Structure 1
């Protein structure tokens, strides 16, 4: 089973706790020996599920949307990003240089094309910019990739 991740990054501490639990519950039913998580390993849900997968003994593959992708992530996340990138069994590159919305969508499209199921940490609202979670969910659905939406009841970003 190959599972991809997309999700909102602007989550407060309470929402983080709930989302982490939802992610753990979602992966709990999967056989870790046959599981590969595909992630762009951005801060928050992308990294959380990658860490969960590795902790369970699953494989991690990383999609890198652009050569300068890491530079656009929060500085506090760089050590986590670097560790996860080192622990990944494979890397996939879009070939783009600048880390912009188009590169992020290209990375998400590459990710969706490699998975059996997409987990979306999504509040159900439209994307705030091109390549946002709603756009990735729509792309997956167009391709017929099953989408599991995880969002705590009554939570708001």
Structure 2
């Protein structure tokens, strides 16, 4: 089984979200469900990936950065988060209470440390804070993990 983790932006515009969703599904399709997907299940790239993994019939592993992680997600995303978390074959809970940038950074590192490949829904720009997409990509590169960047040409956040 190939273990694939996701890192990526939240708050994608609808048109970008549709293109990213299609690209993620196209990347996963050749694996024919022979994968395990790791995701923190945040809104945006994490959820697009998690849904594609589940719909492909593959196992989903959730990484929960902190005890209060869900509280930091948009309230409208809570039902989606809860449903995906319930579908997870395995849940990795990190030892943080508050959903801080440090907890998010450690969650990203955990995924990289436990994957064969990192998918990055990334515009190529610097992280907006610790634990951002660029930080996780850099960590994966330091660990010699293959990184596949998915970002539609000309797309803006």
| TM-score normalised per structure 2 | 0.97
User: Hey, what's the Cα distance between the residues in 2 that align with 1:109 and 1:155?
Assistant: 27
Partner of 1:113: 113
User: Hey, what's the Cα distance between the residues in 1 that align with 2:45 and 2:31?
Assistant: 18
- Structure 2 residue 20 is matched with structure 1 residue 24: no
How many residue pairs are counted as aligned between the two chains?
156
- 8 Å Cα contact 2:4-2:119 kept in structure 1: yes
Runs of 4+ in 1 over 3 A off after TM superposition: none
User: Hey, what's the Cα distance between the residues in 2 that align with 1:13 and 1:51?
Assistant: 16
SS of aligned partner of 2:31 = coil
User: Hey, what's the Cα distance between the residues in 1 that align with 2:86 and 2:69?
Assistant: 16
Moved more, 67-76 or 45-54: 45-54
- Structure 2 residue 38 is matched with structure 1 residue 73: no
| TM-score normalised per structure 1 | 0.97
User: Hey, what's the Cα distance between the residues in 1 that align with 2:9 and 2:51?
Assistant: 17
Q: CA RMSD in A?
A: 0.7
User: Hey, what's the Cα distance between the residues in 1 that align with 2:85 and 2:11?
Assistant: 22
Q: Tell me, which stretches of 5 or more residues in structure 2 are unaligned?
A: none
SS of aligned partner of 2:108 = helix
SS of aligned partner of 1:37 = strand
- 8 Å Cα contact 2:11-2:43 kept in structure 1: no
User: Could you give the per-residue CA deviations for residues 75-113 of structure 1, whole angstroms, max 9, x where no partner exists?
Assistant: 011001001111100011111111010000011111111
